[in-house]
């Protein structure tokens, strides 16, 4: 099964702390990610089937195509920047984006494409989304490009070198193309999600997930430092998801949470049975995805990351160039989408996002 949970953090935030405007002045917001950054691509591609807007109980379930009960971190972050990226599936010659594009698809892995569990729908992965961007849009040097992925890979126990290699190739491609602001997220301990704590996973598999998460975060940190040295003209910002998730789990009251282990909703993104009455008190909305309240904390962490850029790092100890993704051909990315979700946007090609 391919699902995911991601939450982000940089420092400990008070549960009542409002989002604050920041000094950065980006001209577009562009997202390359999975269901944690979705704003309606899968919902549009599946004709409103996934994720379901209504639970079997008649209660409201997933909000406006988001894999949560309310706005996502993209919505909160974008609000502070005055930017609303257009979901890729809604781009057309009559709807050319002016504030950025959200390429994120639920169930996306970090490779070229993946299938939504329990369905026949194929979606572009992180590499596939980068290909869609290259094929249809020019890089906005004053925009910001967020890259977040890996959880879906690790729920299938994909090797860390492959996942970080895919992310490396994606970030390198953006930097080479002229992106000057890149926002990269690490992962929380996936073994602590309600999904991983369910009977789908054995204790040994949970430990494997924990080990994969830790190794991913270590290798990603080395990768980002290496890329900062390679592209000193590019701002590569880090959002420490792992720290916030760990802190929220250990000190839930500091975030206003009453439940950081269970899910507010009974069911998953294919079908919700019932929804709790107090989702803001939960870290998780379903067995993998966070509540909108958690997404607000993610946005706070991302805003803080771009407000206080990290200093350039030194080259990492790993020979990241040897990772397998470096051999992927650019032309492969052009075929990331199947006919199921291919969107005809050729007339929008070479339109500079953010202008």
Flag whether 175 is in a domain: yes
Q: How many angstroms separate the CA atoms of 61 and 66, rounded?
A: 10
Residue 336 has pLDDT above 80, yes or no: no
Within a domain: 133: yes
Q: How far apart are CA 33 and CA 145, in angstroms?
A: 10
Could you give the number of structural domains in the chain? 1
Higher pLDDT, 46 or 6: 46
> Which pLDDT band, with edges at 50, 70 and 90, does 24 fall under?
low
Residue 348 vs residues 47, 58, 95, 173: alpha-carbon distances, Å: 23, 40, 9, 21
Q: What tens digit of pLDDT does each residue of 151-166 get?
A: 999 999 999 999 999 9
Q: Give the C-alpha separation, 119 to 117, whole Å.
A: 6
Q: Is the bond into 81 cis (omega within 30 degrees of 0)?
A: no
Q: Is residue 73 part of a domain?
A: yes
- Residue 341, domain member (yes or no): no
pLDDT of 338 over the 50 cut: no
The answer to whether position 335 is within a domain reads no
Residue 117 pLDDT grade (very low, low, confident, very high; cuts 50, 70, 90): confident
How confident is the model over 249-281, as pLDDT tens digits?
A: 999 999 999 999 999 999 999 999 999 999 999
Residue range of the domain that includes 191? 29-314
Question: Residue 352 domain-assigned?
Answer: no
- Has residue 4 been placed in a domain? no
The predicted pLDDT at position 334 comes to: 35
Phi, psi angles (nearest 5°) of residue 244: -65, -45
Cα–Cα nearest to 169, from 213, 128, 115: 128
CATH of residue 46: 3.40.50.1110
Does 112 map to a domain? yes
**Mean pLDDT to the nearest integer, 298-304:** 95
Cα Rg, the chain, nearest whole Å: 19
Contact (Cβ atoms closer than 8 angstroms) between residue 236 and residue 182: yes
Q: Strands 181-185 and 144-147, how do they pair? A: parallel
């Amino acid at each position: 099964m391919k699902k995911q949970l991601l939450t982000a953090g940089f420092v400990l935030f008070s549960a009542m702390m409002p989002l604050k405007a920041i000094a950065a002045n980006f001209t577009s917001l562009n997202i390359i990610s999975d269901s944690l950054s979705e704003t309606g691509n899968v919902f549009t591609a599946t004709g409103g089937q996934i994720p379901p807007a209504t639970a079997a109980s008649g209660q409201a379930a997933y909000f406006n195509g988001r894999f949560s009960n309310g706005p996502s971190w993209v919505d909160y972050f974008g609000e502070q920047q005055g930017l609303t990226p257009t979901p890729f599936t809604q781009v057309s010659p009559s709807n050319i984006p002016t504030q950025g594009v959200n390429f994120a698809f639920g169930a996306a892995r970090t490779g070229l494409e993946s299938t939504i569990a329990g369905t026949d729908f194929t979606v572009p992965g992180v590499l596939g989304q980068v290909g869609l961007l290259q094929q249809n849009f020019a890089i906005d040097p004053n925009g910001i490009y967020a890259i977040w992925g890996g959880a879906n890979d690790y729920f299938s126990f994909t090797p860390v070198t492959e996942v970080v290699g895919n992310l490396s190739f994606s970030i390198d491609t953006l930097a080479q193309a002229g992106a000057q602001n890149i926002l990269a997220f690490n992962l929380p301990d996936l073994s602590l999600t309600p999904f991983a704590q369910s009977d789908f996973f054995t204790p040994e598999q949970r430990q494997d997930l924990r080990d994969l998460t830790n190794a991913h975060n270590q290798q990603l940190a080395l990768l980002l430092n290496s890329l900062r040295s390679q592209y000193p003209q590019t701002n590569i910002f880090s959002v420490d998801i792992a720290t916030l998730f760990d802190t929220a789990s250990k000190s839930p009251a500091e975030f206003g949470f009453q439940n950081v282990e269970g899910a507010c909703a009974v069911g998953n993104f294919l079908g919700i049975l019932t929804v709790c009455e107090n989702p803001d008190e939960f870290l998780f909305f379903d067995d993998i995805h966070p509540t909108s309240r958690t997404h607000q904390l993610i946005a706070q962490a991302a805003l803080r990351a771009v407000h206080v850029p990290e200093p350039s790092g030194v080259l990492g100890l790993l020979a990241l160039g040897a990772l397998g993704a470096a051999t992927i051909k650019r032309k492969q990315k052009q075929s990331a989408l199947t006919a199921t979700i291919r969107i005809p946007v050729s007339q929008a090609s070479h339109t500079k996002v953010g202008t």
